[in-house]
Amino acid sequence: MAGLNNIEPNIYGSVQPTSQTWTVVTRIDGVSNAFVNLFISAKVEQDRVRVAVKPRAEVLNAKHYILYDTPISEDVPLQISNIGLNSNDEIQVWSLQGATAFNVTGVTLVNLLS
Protein backbone atom coordinates (compact mmCIF):
# COMPACT_ATOMS: atom_id res chain seq x y z
CA MET A 1 0.00 0.00 0.00
CA ALA A 2 1.30 3.42 -0.90
CA GLY A 3 2.10 5.63 2.03
CA LEU A 4 2.16 9.25 2.94
CA ASN A 5 4.80 11.34 1.20
CA ASN A 6 6.88 14.06 2.80
CA ILE A 7 8.10 16.80 0.43
CA GLU A 8 11.52 18.23 1.22
CA PRO A 9 13.01 21.16 -0.77
CA ASN A 10 16.70 20.80 -1.60
CA ILE A 11 19.69 22.19 -3.39
CA TYR A 12 21.01 18.95 -4.88
CA GLY A 13 24.27 20.06 -6.38
CA SER A 14 26.34 22.70 -8.12
CA VAL A 15 29.24 21.90 -10.41
CA GLN A 16 31.42 23.45 -13.09
CA PRO A 17 32.87 20.38 -14.81
CA THR A 18 36.35 20.26 -16.27
CA SER A 19 36.42 20.68 -20.05
CA GLN A 20 34.96 17.67 -21.91
CA THR A 21 34.56 15.58 -18.74
CA TRP A 22 31.27 13.97 -17.68
CA THR A 23 30.45 14.93 -14.08
CA VAL A 24 27.62 13.79 -11.80
CA VAL A 25 25.82 16.91 -10.54
CA THR A 26 23.28 14.97 -8.46
CA ARG A 27 22.20 11.43 -7.59
CA ILE A 28 19.04 10.34 -5.79
CA ASP A 29 19.92 7.69 -3.21
CA GLY A 30 17.83 5.55 -0.91
CA VAL A 31 14.09 5.16 -1.23
CA SER A 32 13.35 8.70 -2.40
CA ASN A 33 12.11 10.17 -5.67
CA ALA A 34 12.57 13.76 -6.73
CA PHE A 35 11.41 16.45 -9.10
CA VAL A 36 14.29 18.78 -9.93
CA ASN A 37 15.10 21.91 -11.89
CA LEU A 38 18.42 22.29 -13.70
CA PHE A 39 19.93 25.76 -14.21
CA ILE A 40 22.79 26.12 -16.71
CA SER A 41 24.88 29.29 -16.92
CA ALA A 42 27.90 29.89 -19.17
CA LYS A 43 30.82 31.87 -17.78
CA VAL A 44 32.20 32.63 -21.26
CA GLU A 45 30.76 34.13 -24.43
CA GLN A 46 29.96 30.71 -25.98
CA ASP A 47 30.07 27.10 -24.76
CA ARG A 48 28.38 23.80 -25.68
CA VAL A 49 26.77 21.55 -23.10
CA ARG A 50 25.41 18.03 -22.72
CA VAL A 51 23.03 16.76 -20.04
CA ALA A 52 22.07 13.14 -19.41
CA VAL A 53 19.55 11.62 -16.99
CA LYS A 54 20.13 7.94 -16.29
CA PRO A 55 19.90 5.13 -13.78
CA ARG A 56 23.14 4.94 -11.79
CA ALA A 57 23.84 1.33 -12.85
CA GLU A 58 23.54 1.97 -16.61
CA VAL A 59 26.42 2.95 -18.86
CA LEU A 60 25.89 6.39 -20.39
CA ASN A 61 24.63 6.27 -23.98
CA ALA A 62 22.56 8.31 -26.43
CA LYS A 63 19.16 7.31 -24.99
CA HIS A 64 19.98 9.23 -21.77
CA TYR A 65 20.63 12.66 -23.34
CA ILE A 66 18.21 15.50 -22.75
CA LEU A 67 20.65 18.03 -24.24
CA TYR A 68 23.48 17.23 -26.66
CA ASP A 69 26.05 19.78 -27.86
CA THR A 70 23.57 22.55 -27.14
CA PRO A 71 25.06 26.04 -27.55
CA ILE A 72 24.85 28.36 -24.57
CA SER A 73 26.01 31.95 -24.19
CA GLU A 74 26.81 33.93 -21.08
CA ASP A 75 23.86 36.28 -21.54
CA VAL A 76 21.20 33.55 -22.00
CA PRO A 77 21.14 30.92 -19.22
CA LEU A 78 19.05 27.76 -19.65
CA GLN A 79 16.54 26.19 -17.27
CA ILE A 80 15.02 22.71 -17.50
CA SER A 81 12.14 22.20 -15.08
CA ASN A 82 10.37 19.20 -13.54
CA ILE A 83 12.88 16.46 -14.29
CA GLY A 84 11.56 13.36 -12.53
CA LEU A 85 14.18 11.20 -10.83
CA ASN A 86 13.70 7.80 -9.22
CA SER A 87 15.86 6.26 -6.53
CA ASN A 88 19.40 5.72 -7.90
CA ASP A 89 18.90 8.02 -10.91
CA GLU A 90 21.52 10.65 -11.60
CA ILE A 91 22.11 13.71 -13.73
CA GLN A 92 25.46 13.92 -15.51
CA VAL A 93 26.69 17.08 -17.21
CA TRP A 94 29.42 18.00 -19.70
CA SER A 95 30.84 21.27 -21.03
CA LEU A 96 33.04 21.71 -24.11
CA GLN A 97 35.12 24.51 -22.56
CA GLY A 98 34.64 23.72 -18.88
CA ALA A 99 33.26 27.21 -18.40
CA THR A 100 29.62 26.51 -17.56
CA ALA A 101 27.96 26.07 -14.17
CA PHE A 102 25.17 23.55 -13.55
CA ASN A 103 22.88 23.88 -10.50
CA VAL A 104 20.11 21.50 -9.43
CA THR A 105 17.29 22.39 -7.05
CA GLY A 106 13.98 20.72 -6.38
CA VAL A 107 11.95 18.58 -4.01
CA THR A 108 12.51 15.10 -2.61
CA LEU A 109 9.48 12.90 -2.11
CA VAL A 110 10.04 10.62 0.86
CA ASN A 111 7.66 7.71 1.44
CA LEU A 112 6.75 7.79 5.15
CA LEU A 113 4.63 4.63 5.19
CA SER A 114 5.11 1.54 3.09
CATH classification at residue 57: 2.60.120
Please report the pLDDT score of residue 114 as a whole number.
52
Contacts for 63 with CB less than 8 Å, ≥ 6 apart: none
pLDDT over 70 (residue 1): no
pLDDT tier, 74 (very low <50, low <70, confident <90, very high otherwise): very high
pLDDT of residue 7: 82
Number of domains observed in the structure of the chain: 1
Res 112 pLDDT > 80: no
Which range marks the domain in which residue 74 is found? 5-111
pLDDT average, residue stretch 8-14: 92
pLDDT value at position 29? 84
Residue pair 94/69 in contact (Cβ under 8 Å)? The answer is no
